[in-house]
Chain A
């Protein structure tokens, strides 16, 4: 039996049972489609989280104040005020530290004529933008003079700009009121994507001195961002900073430190772990439906074998060998899964497109997930088709012909 004959037989057999073939294909299509869509959602969110963390700056250590451990009441992270500008200055003496950017932050009500919002105010110094890899969309950064003389000038995030002034407007030169005091907008930062907590799009930057004097009213810092020279120096630098600050704060043991150091790389790997678990979870849920679809194929093929017992007997009587029969049924199963695979990939692609378009979730279809889904569908065809095919091939032609 030639390959072209095999295809013809397969085609005729599938066409002969349109409804049943269609339903079987539907089962696999849903399985493969959901695997691709689920994995694309998982990988998309993994990518967006990674991108966001990376956009916040690489080689970055963030030192946050915290109350000393061992005391009766422990405040929330960042709520304590144990870091000072002198601490930040001292950190510059560590050789592996590239730049130090002390910040203070606070949430305030912002008002302009006819609009208002509530957002974070960041008091920053000249190093901040380079440490956090922030660039400006409009206007210019704070000047040396503005830092020194604690001018009331502000650079606002794009989301804040959109909220206050309307989308894509140029607010440079406009006045905003923070906590009742008037500031002049001199720039808008470039969007870095992302929403919610940690977004660098919805906030207002002002010079550090200005913030300390007019917003928080103290010389304490909210956190210190430290850029390290190279990624492999992160751990040693973290230890050096910890030792230095413990010494400056007169604390004997690292266990009772009144600050904590957050390592960007650690955060990234924690996030990555989380999202890959998510991807795995979504993928395995979808995988279950793929297996159910596979059992559907097996069920259909077994029904077909039973239903076509006489036909198998006849084919054997007119000269079909075992190999011919098993190849025919295997080919039917594989063809069904192959068709399902193609439709399933299209469906998965469509689903993930719809999810990203209407659901606002980033999705990424990786070639691996397509290959995986296709490979799995092929394997399902072969595995779940093999048993019915073998059963058909082993039928005794006499018994098969007598079968009612």
Chain B
């Protein structure tokens, strides 16, 4: 479970203080599918960094599975990211010269999973993300955008995280591929009961989620159930 209590983030340059988040509070229960929406500059990226334990808030508290992440050190944050969080980036961020399977294995390497387990888990995650088995040994820079996003999803899933965070997951994809990717998220949410948070500035994308949180100028302006839920394309 995720709980933000009055989270603020202020970026300090030499003379100017820029507040990116101004006291945001909300809760997300396990198994929810939430979209965080807002225009660019609204602070949603900053919020994602804090939720993903990439950064700590200047003020306020952030509880992830009951643990206050706000006051942790660099290496402790790395542990949280390793064990509890799966990231999916807008630009996929795959290692270009490594194979698909190697990319997915990477988080397991840092998590000290034994060698024999890694390959098995990685293959399972790739299958869950809907990638064809024939592509597992391709270099990741030989894939299409949609396939890369699937690899990125598999990499996020492989550690069995309690939270999957996706930053503009369809930003680099065409509408049709985006629809397939969103369908995959819905499937993972429904069938595997994974908590998924997507960050987006597009209404179309946000409407795949069960709940939408709107952010503007660093403050939470609306938090509602999504009544007109879109269903993504189903694979398999």
Residues of A within 8 A of B (CB): 1-2, 4-5, 9, 12, 16, 310-311, 313-324, 397-398, 401
Contacts and interface: CB of A to CB of B under 8 A. Distances in A.
A320 B78 contact: yes
User: Which A-B residue pairs are the 6 nearest by beta carbons?
Assistant: A319-B82, A319-B110, A318-B107, A321-B78, A314-B93, A16-B97
A35 to B, nearest CB: 34
Given A1-B110, A401-B93, A317 B98 contact: no
A398 B87 contact: no
Contacts of B155: 318
Given A1-B109, A5-B109, A398-B54, A318 B89 contact: no
B98 A322 contact: no
Nearest to A311: B95
Contacts of B95: 311, 314
A319 B74 contact: no
Contact of A12 (B75, B89, B97): B97
Contacts of B79: 319, 321
B89 A1 contact: no
> In terms of DSSP, what is the predominant structure of the interface of chain A?
helix
B78 A401 contact: no
A16 to B, nearest CB: 4
B111 interface: yes
A318 B105 CA distance: 11
Nearest to B152: A314
Contacts of A323: 75
Nearest to B115: A4
Contacts of A311: 95
Given A317-B54, A318-B106, A322-B78, 10 more contacts: A4-B115, A12-B98, A16-B97, A311-B95, A313-B93, A316-B81, A319-B107, A321-B110, A397-B54, A398-B54
Contacts of A4: 115
Contacts of A314: 89, 93, 95
A314 B208 CA distance: 27
A316 B87 CA distance: 11
B93 A322 contact: no
